[in-house]
Amino acid sequence: MTAKPADRPALGIVLMLGALLLFVMMDSAIKTSVQSLPVLQVLWARFLFHMIVVAAALAAAGRRLPPRTGAPKLQIVRSLCLAVANLLFTAALVHVPLAECVAIGFASPLIVTLLAARVLKEKVGWQRWTGIVVGFAGVMVIIRPGAGVTHPAAFLVLGTALVFAIYSVLTRRLAGVDDAFTTIFHTGVAATVLTTFIVPFVWVWPTFEEWALLAVLGLLGGIGHFLLILAYQRAQASVLAPFTYTQIIWATLAGYLLFGEMPDQVALAGALIVAAGGLFVIWTETRAQPKRP
């Protein structure tokens, strides 16, 4: 008798780490691309090549294309939320170090908790509220509003965290309607269509090397999302969640090696505070769950 996917947490952790590494590589490719190409054009390529990768994978698996969704309006809104989140994040990458962008983005799961209480009517105890307060305190340490240390574009990343939190809540709403492969296909549909109409107004013809980089970032995003799905099929979310914060390690290394960026000590301390807030919530939630035999 073969083991169920959820019975292989070690493999799930490896898949999660691989996905996070690919996402940082994608962000690095985006940061490189926006040095010479318009932000909207890079965003268009990110979703277009993502769609191509996902469609090819689904076709190879014998899945129907396009997969039919039971909630088309919700899928459209979710896809547009992801487009806005990526637009804000990409625009911020022009001015803010990669590691700081990723660290501020860690506020998103905390905002999801806040929205879950209001939108999904989930019960939120004092532990979650504590994690939210600590996490946002860490974000403020990184941004240091009024100090003139961090570029104002850092607030775009905070906007990214908010919009991505809405995207995550919509993903939860879709979980009981569409399967994961239907949702991952529709993730980029509306964003690709919208940016295709806008990109001619800002178009700059890429060189061969720039085309290759645009294709690579779409490939990295598509494969990363598939690894993420496989990870959650093989391990519980509470097991995988703490490893999300390893992304700051990859982002710091990529920022230093590729762009000569190194977050200062205050920014690193803020990142640790944000991670502490999230890990505290994860720890309390794990302790509250009944032990599986």
Angle at 277 between CA 140 and CA 247, to 5 degrees: 85
Q: What is the pLDDT of residue 116?
A: 66
pLDDT of residue 201: 94
Whether 160 contacts 49, CB under 8 Å: no
Q: Residue 259 in contact with residue 24, Cβ under 8 Å? A: no
Q: What local confidence, expressed as pLDDT, does residue 2 receive?
A: 37
Q: Within 10 Å of residue 201's Cβ, how many Cβ atoms?
A: 9
**What pLDDT shows up at residue 170?**
82
- Distance, in Å, from the CA atom of 195 to the CA atom of 40, rounded to the nearest integer, reads 7
Task: For residues 213 and 216, give the distance between their C-alpha atoms in angstroms, rounded to a whole number.
Answer: 5
Say what the pLDDT of residue 241 is.
Answer: 67
Q: Residue 293: its pLDDT value, please? A: 46
**pLDDT < 50 stretches in the chain:** 1-4, 6, 293
Q: Which sign, positive or negative, has the C-alpha torsion 237, 223, 277, 77?
A: negative
Quote the tokens at residue 85: 């989140």
Our CA dihedral for 13, 17, 19, 21, rounded to 10 degrees, sits at: 180
d(CA 276, CA 94): 28
What is the predicted pLDDT for the residue at 40?
92
For residue 50, count CB atoms less than 10 angstroms from its CB and return exposed for 0-12, middle for 13-18, buried for 19 or more: buried
Domain ranges in the chain are 5-288
- Report pTM: 0.78
